[in-house]
Structure 1
Amino acid sequence: LSQLYPPRFDTLPSFLQYDEGCSNRTLATVTARGDNGVITISANDDATSSKVDIVQTQSSNSKPFITIVQINQKACMDRETESTWYLHLLAEDTSNLKTIDTLQIYILDVNDEKPSFSSKLFQKTIPENSKTSTEVIKATATDPDNGVGGTVTYSLL
């Protein structure tokens, strides 16, 4: 009596990192292996299938059954909206045995956002006899970028 085991992912990295953006790039090459029949690798949910295309590049029809796919980006990565993608992948063989695994993609920030002030207009009247150290206006600005790209510098011109 032989036991049936589901296919397994051989080359699924635990996580990847990419700069945010809208490029058409290959994010990963993934391999699944098994003993019970031809393997297909696909997105396991709508969120994953909306972000990536999974393209089969190689598949074997005999033991050991091996399938290789490329995971290609099709949606824009925007770190300010979503800092991590969780891609849920399904490997299934012809005997209907399945494995689900997750590829985590950390989205790195690029300096792509503009800073914005708390108000469009700053206006104040200052009495003529005010002290030298009197605060005139307090202006604040924020930048949604992360790290150095989110640092705001002020200058008076």
Structure 2
Amino acid sequence: MCRHILRAGLLGTLAILVGSTPAVAEAKKDMIAIAVDHARILQIDRGAGTVIIGNPAIVDIEVLSEERLVLTGKSYGITNVIILDRDNSVLMDEQVAVQTFEESTVRVYRQANRQTYACAPKCEPTVTIGDNQDVFDLSSTQYQTRRAIAETAARP
């Protein structure tokens, strides 16, 4: 009896999740999608006077010219970007979804612990938000040490 109740509960939950999937997919169609650590060029029709980012921890914008901007995904999440012209008229007011970039990556799970590798074609550990804290810290420290050595060697 208990198994039938559990099975019915699981099937009901699955039906809710499957039934709600199209609504989530449709909402994302209206957003600008960008991957973490990737850039995307935004072309606007008129010159930008002011650029407003809802959460600068999620995305960053660099102004190349009045009509061309570069949007960079910094961290996972959803925020918005508003671009005003010189007269403070809204040129753009869009939601931006920053998501994981999974192409050429492998995620290894050891129970609840995750480690991400970038594979092109050989796999190397990478620093990825959501990875196991110990692995993340070790990889971060190694990257910082390597960068410091390279910067020191490049000095005249």
Q: Which of the five TM-score ranges fits, normalised by the shorter chain?
A: 0.3 to 0.5
Larger Rg: 1
TM-score by length of 1: 0.40
Q: Which has the higher helix share?
A: 2
TM-score by length of 2: 0.40
Higher RCO structure (Cα 8 Å, ≥6 apart) = 1
